[in-house]
Structure 1
Amino acid sequence: MRFAIDLGFDFGGLGDGFLDSGLSFLALGFMALLYSGLLFFVLIVLYKLYLGTLKRTFDACSPENCEMNSPHLVWLNLIPIFNLYWIFLTVIKLANSVKKEYAALGISRECSGGYTVGLAYPICFSVSLIFSLFSLELAYGVIAVGFVCWIIHWFQVGKFLGIIKKRKQSWMLPPPVSPTNGQGTRMYIHKDGKLYGPYPIELLRKYVQQGNFTTEDLACHDGQNWVTVAEVPGFAPPSPQPPFDDVCRALV
């Protein structure tokens, strides 16, 4: 009888131990799931902010320089699996668009458009999926490298965006003044990265004739749109002066 009681007591203690272990395991699993969900949410928010920076950079590029048909197509990178392909295309098109915009705005500094580091991070994330089949430690290491490259690319694109917007803002001038002294509309001229003016049409025509400006230099005729001097309304290229020999021949 004593043996049965002792045996029953031992089984009861063993059952309590299993119950406590099960509850602890469930609690740990719940906490792990909670932290994983929170981490996933934070990464999604950061990734959306990153894609927003890419979209704004595409928007800042002129239509003729933007290689993405629509900047809104950047959001396709939120589609799982498909984004493994689309992010490569996005990075390449963004780099080319930024380089074209730099050239169009006359920005002389070198610009890679974030091409190298932009391709490095999706490559790392893609390779980590393969490495995870063999070694989780190696996969985590590659993911860490990819995460660093992603942050660097984000900051690079943000820097490109700031430079483009700053240069375009320097070109956004107030509407030219139309004086009442009969001189006509005044023009701003952009030449070799510098702004000149405003000049009346007559004075601008004189400067072109003297060689200070050319008809291919950019001019602002309405405060917003830039055209060549030759395309300025009311401007006619100065007629070329006849050669000296022709003048002498005419006098004879």
Structure 2
Amino acid sequence: MPNAITRSLQLAAVRKDAAALTAVEAGSGQRVYTFKASDGDFDRYSDRLSVKGWRVEGYNANGVVLFNHDDGAQAASTGAEPALPIGKGRVYVEGDALMIDIVFDDEDDFARKVERKVAKGILNAVSVRYLMLPGHYRQNERGGFDCDAQELLEVSIVTIPGNARAVRTKALDELSNEVVERIAQRVVELLAERGEDVPTDDEDTKPDAGEHPPANESKPKPGEPSSDDPPTEDDEDKDKPKNFDAPEAAKQFVEAFKQHIRGV
């Protein structure tokens, strides 16, 4: 039976990296940065990791975020001051990727320095350290490993990505006001078109003078209200047109859209 293989502990070339996607404001006021940490395709080192195979319970119980995988082990052997975690993370599978939300330690000078570079887009990538579980990996046609189950050990902000798909996308706050306005204007147009289909109070549904009802219109049966009878309260509520304020609906939609993107 194959033994367990721990990646990124011995060789830097097995680190798995990905780009920052967005930085959002969490409901608590903390700045939360979301990254794609891994996917199921070949990385630059010919490994493939099953997205559904991630074991993340242990990590989420102790979600340390390091810088360049420096866990202090080397400092301990040299007598230097050991590196400490720069933040905490929470990982989860979303679609075809392993995602992580990172909060930096705002009481640590170095962590704040790293966060500023992430916010500016100077540092864009993360890297996962993981353990390939025995019996769940095999060599593939490219000379790397295909792994069906792996345990996540830690995640680092890194300087050099090892994943060719490490491309950062802009957060909503980085979009120009012009783009947001174009979205809002298009929403207004679509909702206005919908509003035009809604009857208004000014519409007169009565037949014009001189018009006669269809010849085959049946007379009401005994006991049934005729068309000349005054409408009841229920009939009035049923036939009352619903006013539709397209600009206001569009405004509410845009605000809800912004809140959704920002993670609030």
Shared fold per TM-score greater than 0.5? no
TM range (shorter): under 0.3
What TM-score comes out, normalization by structure 1 length? Answer: 0.26
Higher relative contact order (CA 8 A, sep 6+): 2
Q: Which has the higher helix share?
A: 1
Q: Which has the higher strand share?
A: 2
Max radius of gyration: which structure? 1
